[in-house]
Every structure is written in C-alpha cells, then in structure tokens.
Amino acid sequence: MKAKILLLFLLILILGLSNCNSKRYEHGEILYKNFCSSCHMDDGTGLVGNIPPLAGADYLGKERDKLACIIRYGIKGEIVVNGRTYTQAMEGIDRLSDAEITNVINYINTAWGNEFPFVPITEVQESLKNCKK
C-alpha cells in the first residue's frame, strides 16, 4: 500500500516537472498575447510592409542587446529585418517589469520554431542601463 502511494506520488511529481518544462515561457506567452500580438500577430509574422516579423527574424539574433530597450522604450526610424526595411515606429511598453521583459524575450526567442539562445534577467537589466532614449 505504502509503495503504491509512493509510486503515485512519484508519478505526479514527474508529470508535474515535465509539464512545467514544456511551458517554460508560458508567462512570456501571455504577456506576448496581451502586449505584442496585436501588431506582431499571434504567429509572430507581423504585417507585410508595416510591422516586422519576430518569427524567424534575423534581428533577434543580431541585435540581442537592443531587444529589452525596444520593448521598454520603443523604437523609431529605419530598421532592416530579414532584408526588408521597416519605418513605422513602435511605442515602448513601460508597464512591463524587468522580469516580464525577460519572459517576453525568451518566449519570442523560442516560439514559432525560433532557436535563439536564452537571455538571463541580469543581461536584460544590463541592456536596460544602456538604452539610447
């Protein structure tokens, strides 16, 4: 009897852990849906000609240290994403905490087949200190 309970307990623990792992950036995903998807779309494809994509965007890899600043303070002027030029400005979203920005970045870095490396909060905070506002 005791062994069965122990086994059940282990099973729940394992299920719980694996579940947690597969939803690593769940919080980032919720934030993305609330604050970003209206422009960049649920599938990260953006809007042809106006809003740059995040899915498969070379920008995320090349400009890794700018991402936190873009999210907090916005960005205007010309930028090139996957060889296309975008000129519309993006407003900053100053409501997001450092941790929330980190979660969103790690979500977009790994969503839709993206495989950009993990960004720790310490790196986000370092980037935020050096934003050109």
Interacting residues with ligand HEC (CB under 6 A):
35-36, 38-40, 51-54, 57, 59-60, 67, 70-71, 75-77, 79, 81, 86-91, 93, 104, 108
CB of 39 to ligand HEC, least distance (A): 3
Those residues with Cβ within 8 angstroms of residue 92's Cβ, 6 or more apart along the chain or in another chain: 70, 71, 72, 73, 74
Q: Which is nearer to ligand HEC, 7 or 92 (CB)?
A: 92
Q: Which is nearer to ligand HEC, 35 or 73 (CB)?
A: 35
CA 25 to CA 111: how far, in whole Å?
9
CB of 110 to ligand HEC, least distance (A): 13
Other C-beta atoms lying within 10 Å of the C-beta of residue 66: 17
CB of 6 to ligand HEC, least distance (A): 44
Q: Which is nearer to ligand HEC, 38 or 122 (CB)?
A: 38
Dihedral angle sign, alpha carbons of residues 133, 61, 103, 38: positive
Residue 103's Cβ-side half-sphere holds a number of Cα atoms within 13 Å equal to: 18
Q: Which is nearer to ligand HEC, 23 or 76 (CB)?
A: 76
CB of 9 to ligand HEC, least distance (A): 39
Dihedral angle sign, alpha carbons of residues 106, 36, 75, 71: negative
